[in-house]
Amino acid sequence: MSQHPLPNDLHLETLAVRLAVERSQYGENSEALYLTSGYVQPSAEVSARRFAGEEEGYTYGRSSNPTVTSFEMRLAALEGSEAALATSSGMSAVMLMLFSLLKSGDHVVYSQSMFGSTLKLIGSEFARFGVESTVVPQTDLAAWKAAIRPNTKILFAETPTNPLTEVCDIAALADMAHNAGALLAVDNCFATPILQRPMGMGADIVMHSGTKYLDGQGRVMAGALCASEKMVKEKFLPVMKNGGMVLSPFNAWVVLKGLETLDIRMRAQSANGHAMAQWLEQHPAVARVYYPGLASHPQHALSMKQMSGMGGAVLSFDVKAADPQQARTRAFHVLDSLRTLSLCTNLGDTKTLLTHPASTSHGKLSEDQRQAAGIGQGMIRLAAGLEHLDDMKADLLRGLDTL
Ligand SMILES: *Cc1c(COP(=O)(O)O)cnc(C)c1O
């Protein structure tokens, strides 16, 4: 809202630490945390104009807040979008997007490998209101194309995916969507704008879970949608005002400060992820490693082109085993042998986090569905943090060398 007094030719690294609403009259150097639900209006006339949308200005916390605005400005600059709108979580961002853009009878095409709650929200919850959808294999462009119908309004992709790190071609999907008169939305949680900027590849909407790398230290829930000014103002904001999935000022402040170190964290954690992936690929107890930065990854070339030559911080690996039962026992042994790293169903933390997808994020699938999805009982996901590589390796060896 208030104009920042910065020069307009600054680099992204600079904007990530500098862009915010104007300082208050007290001259605080760290951005102020405005914990307020309402705003005192200078006059009844100004208040009336603000409520009529004829003048910018804060009115009530469900519409906007200066700390939240600072986060939105910074994220939009990093993603290269005209505007952004913050939400209370990543899933509320997905909810807001679908609610704002779809009506009964519309159709969505999305990948079968997307985040579990996204699959359920579209395939079950929105289906109850007559929104149709088709799931397609993540990497099969022909399948995406074949799924498009006259009533298709959104193609929704997530790349890389969890836990298999499958990558899809954002530019190709954007062309496909636009040729069909539809929009391309991209969940950019795993790569973040440091590795991948979907708007520049033709995406219309970028969705974020701020809970992950934007905060980066596992403290708060947050989310956001990045899009054109017109889409944010005319589609998302009205639904936000009535729906109330607003980001709290405190959480906005935490994520705002998280963005200041996003660039160095992502580069360092991606380098650690890469080193761990290469190291695990050599270990005799490991059957396979899934990581876009490895030459063995099926979309390695596309990943490097699309993700600034980095593979990201998340990788998965299968421990060797004769059958699913033994695989589960072995994966559990590796996880239960950890003493430094965390067994924790989250990612995007400076602490390295490991999970067993088959019994957690993908635990509700039948064994057959899991096999079809390629998520075996021996799979472990690792989201690399900032610990020393030797300590990370030693902690995994405790389990891997005693199978
Ligand atoms: C965590 C996550 C979400 C959901 O975000 P929340 O902040 O937990 O609601 C969506 N997509 C991906 C890829 C995620 O990792």
Whether residue 1 is predicted with pLDDT greater than 80 in this model: the reply is: no
Instruction: Tell which residue, 254, 211, 226, 236, has the closest CA to residue 84.
Output: 226
Strands 183-187, 205-209: pairing kind: parallel
Say if residue 231 is in the same domain as residue 196. yes
Centroid of chain to Cα 77:
16
Alpha helices in 19-165 (DSSP H): 44-51, 66-79, 90-101, 116-120, 141-147
Position 4 scores a pLDDT of 65
From 221, 243, 259, give the residue that closes a domain: 259
Say if residue 246 is in the same domain as residue 299. no
Judge whether 74 and 19 are in contact, CB under 8 Å.
yes
Q: Is residue 93 part of a domain?
A: yes
Residues 6+ apart with CB under 8 A from 398: 337, 338, 339
Whether residue 92 is predicted with pLDDT greater than 70 in this model: the reply is: yes
Say if residue 241 is in the same domain as residue 344. no
Position 8 scores a pLDDT of 87
Position 370 scores a pLDDT of 85
Say if residue 255 is in the same domain as residue 267. no
| pLDDT tens track for 308-334 | 999 999 999 999 999 999 999 999 999
Place of tokens 């095409």: 109
Q: Could you give the maximum distance between any two Cα atoms of the chain, in Å?
A: 75
CATH number at residue 380: 3.90.1150.10
Residue nearest to atom 4 of ligand 1 (CA): 90
Atom of ligand 1 nearest to the CA of 162: 13
- Report the residue among 158, 209, 247 best suited for mutation to probe ligand 1: largest number of ligand atoms under 8 A from its CB: 209
Query: Cα(376)–Cα(137) distance, rounded to whole angstroms?
Result: 18
Residues 6+ apart with CB under 8 A from 363: none
Q: Is residue 182 part of a domain?
A: yes
| pLDDT tens track for 162-216 | 999 999 999 999 999 999 999 999 999 999 999 999 999 999 999 999 999 999 9
Residue nearest to atom 8 of ligand 1 (CA): 90
Q: With a 6 A CB cut-off, is 89 part of the ligand 1 pocket?
A: yes
Say if residue 152 is in the same domain as residue 297. no
Say if residue 217 is in the same domain as residue 278. no
Task: Tell me the pLDDT band of 301, cut-offs 50, 70 and 90.
Answer: very high
pTM: 0.96
Query: Cα(105)–Cα(98) distance, rounded to whole angstroms?
Result: 13
From 234, 259, 284, give the residue that closes a domain: 259
- How many whole angstroms from 222 Cα to the centroid of ligand 1? 9
Q: With a 6 A CB cut-off, is 209 part of the ligand 1 pocket?
A: yes
From 202, 224, 259, give the residue that closes a domain: 259
Conformation bin of residue 47: beta by default, left when phi > 0, alpha when psi is -120 to 50: alpha
Say if residue 292 is in the same domain as residue 212. no
User: Which helix (H) or strand (E) segment is 35 a member of?
Assistant: none
Q: What is the mean pLDDT of residues 265-286?
A: 98
By three-state DSSP, how is residue 128 classified? helix
- Domain membership of residue 349 as a residue range: 262-400
Say if residue 137 is in the same domain as residue 208. yes
Classify residue 340 by its DSSP letter: S
| pLDDT tens track for 2-23 | 556 799 899 999 999 999 999 9
Say if residue 184 is in the same domain as residue 307. no
Query: Cα(289)–Cα(274) distance, rounded to whole angstroms?
Result: 11
Residue nearest to atom 7 of ligand 1 (CA): 90
Say if residue 66 is in the same domain as residue 209. yes
Classify residue 233 by its DSSP letter: I
Instruction: Tell which residue, 187, 186, 193, 210, has the closest CA to residue 87.
Output: 210
CATH number at residue 240: 3.40.640.10
* Overall number of domains in the chain: 2
Position 258 scores a pLDDT of 98
